[in-house]
Amino acid sequence: MSETGPNPGDKAPAFKMAASGGREVSSAKLKGKPYLLYFYPKADTPGCTKQACGIQEALPALGKLELTVIGVSPDAMPPIEKFAAKYKLEFPLASDPEHKVAEAYGVWVEKSMYGKKYMGMERSSFLVGADGKVKAVWRKVKPEAHAAAVLEAAKGL
């Protein structure tokens, strides 16, 4: 695994997090099943909303491919629950407030806005096969086109 997180072919880092709808998501529960772990900076912001709604629209097609989708942000559960309810998001949105999972995947990175540097979540996704290995990685994801790219890659699982 590189210091920037797992690459295709690498074993996906393990995780366990609280998620929307009173759920808990974990790599152990997903053993033997393919899944998409997508990281987004903040619930209910324009880009994150576009991305989540795009994935929600693609959910029936992704479901046919038996792909589980999990969104991950550093937000606490209350804003995540509100975001999920507002947009009727059926897939789990997980909370990673200490960014342990984000760091394991190399997506807790230094960002810059208006000349100020700060640490934050890089919008990235990891497609993991039923064998627990990373099949595809998307960095600096464009929210509008993401669901289509994931769907295309998932067909090859």
17-69 confidence digits (pLDDT tens): 999 999 999 999 999 999 999 999 999 999 999 999 999 999 999 999 999 99
| Banded pLDDT at 7 (limits 50, 70, 90) | very high
Domain that holds residue 126: 16-154
Strands (E), 41-107: 68-73, 93-95
Element (H, E) at 154: helix 146-154
Question: Does the global pTM surpass 0.95?
Answer: no
How deeply is 82 buried, as exposed, middle or buried, from its count of CB atoms within 10 A (0-12, 13-18, 19+)?
middle
Is 8 part of a structural domain of the chain?
no
Is 31 part of a structural domain of the chain?
yes
User: What is the count of structural domains for the chain?
Assistant: 1
| pLDDT for res 60 | 94
Is 10 part of a structural domain of the chain?
no
- Measured between alpha carbons, how far is 72 from 17 in angstroms, rounded to an integer? 9
The catalytic position among 36, 48, 72, 93 is 48
Assign residue 97 a region: left if phi > 0, alpha if psi is -120 to 50, beta otherwise?
Answer: alpha
- Is 53 annotated as catalytic? no
77: domain CATH number?
A: 3.40.30.10
Is 3 part of a structural domain of the chain?
no
Tokens of 103: 């760091």
